[in-house]
Amino acid sequence: MPLSEAAATISDLATEIQAETHRTVEVVEEACAGRKSRAAKVETARDAFREIGDSVTAMTSRIQEFAEATAEVAAVAGAVVGLRAGDRRLGAAAFPSSS
């Protein structure tokens, strides 16, 4: 093989290696971009679930407050019903007389 043919073959191989390297770099860049995109989506989902958890906690607290208020209203209503029914013990306990 003459020297010029060897040089041409080496040049062709170098060009082919450069093209393959360029394609490899593109594939790696696309994979990195995909990972970054997926990581951003995961972070967004994590934030959304955290917000949902906070909302559930707040709603649970409000429900507890409503339950306590309802129990207080029921106790007062029971005392009033007791007075109206003539149950002096319950009425006296709920509304002590001034005498």
Chain segment 56-90, per-residue pLDDT in tens: 999 999 999 999 999 999 988 888 777 666 655 55
Under DSSP, the state recorded for 53 is H
Which amino acid is it at 55? Answer: S
Tokens standing for 19?
């093209």
pLDDT tens sequence across 6-50: 888 999 999 999 999 999 999 999 999 988 899 999 999 999 999
Q: Which two tokens stand for residue 68?
A: 């306590």
Taking the domains of the chain in order of start, what are their residue ranges?
A: 3-94
pLDDT for the residue 79: 80
Q: Give the pTM.
A: 0.51
Residue corresponding to tokens 């040089």: 7
Identify whether the C-beta of residue 60 lies closer than 8 Å to the C-beta of residue 51.
no
Cβ contact 10:1 at 8 Å: no
Supply the DSSP string of 9-70, one letter for each residue: HHHHHHHHHHHHHHHHHHHHHHHHHHHHHHHHHHHHHHHHHHHHHHHHHHHHHHHHHHHHHH
